[in-house]
Chains A and B, each alone.
Chain A
Amino acid sequence: MSTANAKAPAPVIPPSIPASLDPAHCRAAVGDEPMIFHCHHYNTFLQQSIQDAEYIDSRRFLVGAANEVAFGQLSKLFREEDITDVSERARMAETLFQWAGFGRVDLSGLTDKGGVVETPHSHYSHAWKVKMGEADAPVDFFTTGWLSGALAAIHDKPQGWYSSEQTHCIAVGAEQNRYELSATGEPDFDLYKTPGMGPLTDHKPRPIPESPVDYEGIFTALTGMEIVGDETGSIPAFGVYLTRHYANYYNRISFEFSRELERCFGEEGVSVAEPLLVEAGHVCAFNTFGGIMISPEWDALIKPQLKTQEDWVHGMVAAVNALGWGRWQVTSLSPDEAVFAIHDDYEAVGYIANYGEAAYPVSFLAKGAALGIMNLVYLGDVHEKPTFTPEFYQRLFKSNDSYEAEVLENRAGGDEVTAFRVFRR
């Protein structure tokens, strides 16, 4: 339902990314990799939270996770699309990177021996500089690993054939990012095999309170929008900077972080990891959901249906279903408490696929996001279009009035769905 008036030349990005939408599971995929929307705040905050634990070697899995998804996805795409020519493969990889909002990369400087990639357009490096300030060391672990996985797929090499290092970084003050790849045959990061889509269930939507919100129409409208990287590989939409990122990347880095802490400190390690990962969910909700709810897109599509604060919750839940995170429902709702049920949330599905049934709830992002919706609507009066300042964040998520959440059902632990009760303290 998205159209472009014929006023200018063809779009910069050719429509060659074979993305598929699975409305039955509220998921989207490219090359059997589930792709989900997240904004630069979440991307950088999550990485920083992981890196703050200096006693673990997080580089190995931050780079390894990106290698994993790039190699798995591109290998599959090249097979499915029957792309055998190396330069054609490289063009597909470049286009995918740009389409997803990660920036731009020119792979023409790479051969089967490796080589150098330089770019002034990097989502992670620019985002880091804007959000965190200047960094002491290169921060774009994602592109570092993604390039090594992509090059291996392009040349039909084993997944870990290329070691990869970022030597220059915009976030450190360089004019552009620089990555060096070498065909060492020995990766300088951890190797993982992507689980692809993971084990999905047949969704049995639960009854929800009556609402004027047209869930289906909103899903169709949002998933029909052309939300893709522009000429610099950036996706400015809904007032934020989005990426069409890899669910399996977020899952790998979050769960390896948690597991590393568990290896170091036993059960206490998990209890250290959980609040950090939930906090990343708060940051995501505050910025992405907040940005969405004050955006012109929201005003045009969703706001005309909203009369009450409860409607705003429904409107946001309807929008979340278009992010690729699984099927969200709010099954009971009042200003005092709500229950959110999530069918096939990407964290639980990814955990089961990678590690088997979980001994504890693992849907950290979802928990933070559910809290965020309630805090934004009932505590933050987001309908009045507040200014999203650090002080406002503190008031929403760190005050005595902030909502709390408890896990009612745990999909990763064997339940049908993941469900949270979100309630006032």
Chain B
Amino acid sequence: MVRATVERDCAFRLRIAYRLPRPASLEELDEVIEGEVRLDAFSRLVPGARDLFRFMISDVSLATGSVGGAELVVSYGKLGVDASPVDQQDFEAFLEATYGAVQFHSMVD
């Protein structure tokens, strides 16, 4: 099961934190990655730190997570640009197929 927490980013865009049942893997996520993956190798610089990855799932929607971490945070849309509802639908369909049903446990208007 994927546990989803709905928030707003600071430009009032929809932001959802997805808690996966196991650590995220870039190989598994490859299907939804649009363009390049930006990887910051924090673990080589700071003891205990995890490497950060960022990638787009569409032109305007950004996913961020860490290697070995089980949380993926997706911002749908960005300052000045709305996201299509398809971004969320497609991404959650992928999560469901890969990690299990997506269950929302809180909402912010």
Contacts and interface: CB of A to CB of B under 8 A. Distances in A.
Contacts of B7: 387
B79 to A, nearest CB: 4
A1 B79 contact: no
A345 B75 CA distance: 33
Q: How many residues of A sit at the interface, in one of the four size bands?
A: 35 or more
A232 B80 contact: yes
Contacts of B66: 296, 299-300
Contacts of A249: none
Interface string B20-48: 00000010000001011111111011111
A13 to B, nearest CB: 12
Interface stretch (A2-10, A147-155, A326-334): A2-10
Interface of A: 1-8, 11, 39-41, 120-123, 125-127, 130-131, 170, 214, 217-218, 220-221, 224-226, 231-232, 234, 236, 239-241, 287, 291, 295-297, 299-302, 304-305, 387-388
B73 interface: yes
Q: How many residues of B sit at the interface, in one of the four size bands?
A: 35 or more
A236 B75 contact: yes
B88 interface: no
A41 B10 contact: yes
B102 interface: no
Nearest to B68: A300
Interface string B69-108: 1010101001111000000000000000000000000001
B3 interface: no
B11 A40 contact: yes
Given A121-B80, A299-B71, A300-B69, A214 B36 contact: no
Contacts of A120: 80
A383 B10 CA distance: 18
